[in-house]
Amino acid sequence: MKIAITIWGNRISPVFDAAHTLLVTRIKNKTISKKNYISFDPQSHQDLIKILNKNEITTLICGAISTKPADFIVKNNIKLISFVTGNALDFIDSFASSQTIDQGHVMPGCNIGSCHCKKFKHL
């Protein structure tokens, strides 16, 4: 599985539109096998999809995201996991081993399985 996480500094970007860097990670057998960084423009949704497809990324993980980019990402067959927070490397370690998002990485006010943002995906 190859995932991309929008980052801001060393954290998952709290707002998709503020991120300009993707942390791309390959997870194989519940371990991280490769990490690299890719710059992107969050305002250019089509370019983002091209980057994700070119790099064979199937899942995008981010913090808060507005409806327009979220819908565009999902319509282009990219799994979107939103409203995630925390240190990006800590999150990747946790996600790789469990393939789930623990409550400590969920944004305040958003509970896995009972979130006000039901339109978006949680594992």
Mean pLDDT of all residues in 42-48: 95
Q: Is residue 30 part of a domain?
A: yes
Tokens 């995630």 sit on residue:
84
Q: Given pLDDT bands bounded at 50, 70 and 90, which one contains residue 112?
A: low
Q: Is the pLDDT of residue 122 over 80?
A: no
Amino acid at 23: L
- The answer to whether residue 73 is domain-embedded is yes
pLDDT tens readout for residues 6-23: 999 999 999 999 999 999
Number of domains in the chain: 1
Q: Residue 9 falls within a domain, yes or no?
A: yes
Please state the rounded mean pLDDT for residues 36-62: 96
17-26, 51-60, 105-114: least confidently modelled range:
105-114
Give how far the C-alpha of residue 89 lies from the chain's centroid of Cα atoms, to the nearest Å: 12
Residues 78-110 have pLDDT tens digits of: 999 999 999 999 999 999 888 778 787 888 776
Domain that holds residue 57: 2-105
b vs e for 20-49, b when ≥16 Cβ sit within 10 Å of the residue's Cβ?
ebbbbbbbeeeeeeeeeeeebebeebeebb
CATH code of 25's domain: 3.30.420.130
Residue 117 lies in a domain: no
- Residue 111 is predicted with a pLDDT of 57
The sign of the dihedral angle between the CA atoms of 98, 103, 104, 110 is positive
* pLDDT bucket at 114, cuts 50 / 70 / 90: very low
